[in-house]
Amino acid sequence: MLNLAVVLEESARTWPDRDAVVLGEYRLTYARLDAAARQVAAALAARGIGPGDRVALTCPNLPAFPVVYFGILKAGATVVPLSVLLTEREVAFALVDAGVKAYFCFEGTAELPMGRAGQAAFRTAQACESFVLITLDPSGRPSPDLFGPPTTPPTTPPGEGGTGLGDDDVETLAQITEGLPEDFDTVPTSESDPAVVLYTSGTTGSPKGAELTHSNMVLNATVSAEVFGAAERDVHLVALPLFHAFGQTTNLNAGLFSGATLVLLPRFEPEAALATLLRESVTFFAGVPTMYWALLHSPAAAGFDLDRIADNLRLCVSGGSAMPVELLRTFEGRFGVAILEGYGLSETSPVATFNRADRPRRAGSIGLPIWGVEVRVVREDGSTAAVDETGELRVRGHNVMRGYLGQPEATAAAIDAAGWFRTGDLVRRDADGYLYLVDRLKEMIIRGGFNVYPREIEEVLLTHPEISLVAVVGVPHERHGQEIKAFVIREPGATLTADELIAWSRGVLAAYKYPRLIEFRDTLPMTAAGKILKRALVGPAEPVVKPG
Whole-angstrom Cα distance, residue 94 to residue 199?
Answer: 8
DSSP string, 55-119: EEEE--SSTHHHHHHHHHHHTT-EEEEE-TT--HHHHHHHHHHTT-SEEEEE---SSS-HHHHHH
Summary mean pLDDT of the chain: 89
Evaluate whether residue 216 is within a structural domain: no
Q: 322: burial class by Cβ within 10 Å (0-12, 13-18, 19+)?
A: buried
| pLDDT for res 509 | 87
**Euclidean distance between CA atoms 116 and 411, whole angstroms:** 34
Q: How far apart are CA 293 and CA 285, in angstroms?
A: 14
As a whole number of angstroms, the distance between CA 218 and CA 229 comes to 17
| CA angle centred on 527, ends 165 and 277, rounded to 5° | 90
Q: Is the pLDDT of residue 88 over 50?
A: yes
How far apart CA 380 and CA 422 sit, in angstroms, is 12
pLDDT bin (cut points 50, 70, 90) of residue 309 is very high
Question: Is residue 508 assigned to a domain?
Answer: yes
CA 115 to centroid of chain Cα atoms: 21
User: Is 128:102 a contact under the CB 8 Å cutoff?
Assistant: yes
Give tens-digit pLDDT for 324-338. Answer: 898 999 999 999 999
Confidence of residue 137 (pLDDT cuts 50, 70, 90): low
Residue 287 lies in a domain: no
Does the residue 164 lie in any domain? yes
Q: Which DSSP symbol is given to 482?
A: E
Backbone angles phi, psi at 271, to 5 degrees: -65, -45
Q: Quick check: is 51 in a domain? A: yes
Cβ neighbours of 232 (radius 10 Å): 14
Residue at a domain's end among 189, 213, 237:
189
Mean pLDDT score, 181-188: 96
Cβ contact 63:26 at 8 Å:
yes
- Give the rounded percent of residues in the chain with a pLDDT score beyond 70: 91
pLDDT score for 393: 97
Which of 35, 108, 49, 38 is CA-nearest to residue 80? 49
Query: Are the C-beta atoms of residues 280 and 272 closer than 8 Å to each other?
Result: no
Number of structural domains the chain divides into = 2
Whether 259 contacts 18, CB under 8 Å:
yes
The sheet carrying 481-490 orders its strands as 467-477, 481-490, 517-520
What number is the average pLDDT over the span 345-370? 93
Q: Are residues 207 and 392 in contact, defined by beta-carbon separation less than 8 angstroms?
A: no
Instruction: Give, for 445, the enclosing helix (H) or strand (E).
Output: strand 445-447
Q: Quote the pLDDT of residue 32.
A: 97
Domain of 496: which CATH number?
Answer: 3.30.300.30
Taking residue 335's Cβ as centre, other Cβ atoms within 10 Å add up to: 21
Q: Which domain holds residue 149?
A: 6-14+28-189
The per-residue pLDDT for 205 is 55
Rounded Cα distance between 152 and 161, Å, is: 15
Whether 422 and 394 have beta carbons less than 8 Å apart is answered as yes
Sequence-separated contacts (24+) of 83-86 with Cβ below 8 Å: 83/58, 83/199, 83/241, 83/243, 83/244, 83/528, 84/58, 84/59, 84/60, 84/108, 84/112, 84/114, 84/241, 84/243, 84/528, 85/112, 85/527, 85/528, 86/58, 86/114, 86/117
The enclosing domain of 178 has a CATH number of: 3.40.50.980
pLDDT score at 442: 80
Of the candidates 159, 189, 219, which is a domain's last residue?
189
The answer as to whether 490 is a domain residue is yes
pLDDT above 50 for 15:
yes
Contacts of 547 (CB under 8 A, 6+ apart): 477, 478, 479, 480
Q: State pTM to two decimals.
A: 0.84
pLDDT digits (tens, 9 = 90+) for 486-505: 999 999 999 999 999 999 99
Residue 8: predicted pLDDT: 98
Quickly count: other Cβ atoms within 10 Å of residue 253's Cβ. Answer: 28
Residue 156 pLDDT level (bands cut at 50, 70, 90): very low
Rg, the chain, Cα only: 24
| 117 domain residue, yes or no | yes
Last residue of a domain, one of 174, 189, 204: 189
**By 3-state DSSP, what share of the chain in percent is helix, strand and coil, each rounded to 5?**
30, 25, 45
**Whether 402 contacts 191, CB under 8 Å:** no
Of 527 and 407, more confident: 407
Nearest to 249, CA basis, from 288, 284, 217? 217
- pLDDT at 157 (0 to 100): 31
- Across 504-515, average pLDDT: 89
pLDDT at 444: 82
| CA angle at 80 for the pair 151 and 321, rounded to the nearest 5° | 90
Q: Alpha carbon 224 to chain centroid distance?
A: 15
Residues 6+ apart with CB under 8 A from 58: 81, 82, 83, 84, 86, 91, 103, 104, 105, 106, 114, 118, 243
The C-alpha atoms of residue 70 and residue 76 are separated, in whole angstroms, by 10
Local confidence band at 540 (pLDDT 50, 70, 90 cut-offs): very low
Residue 398 domain flag: no
Of 221-235, 364-378, 447-461, which gets the smallest average pLDDT? Answer: 447-461
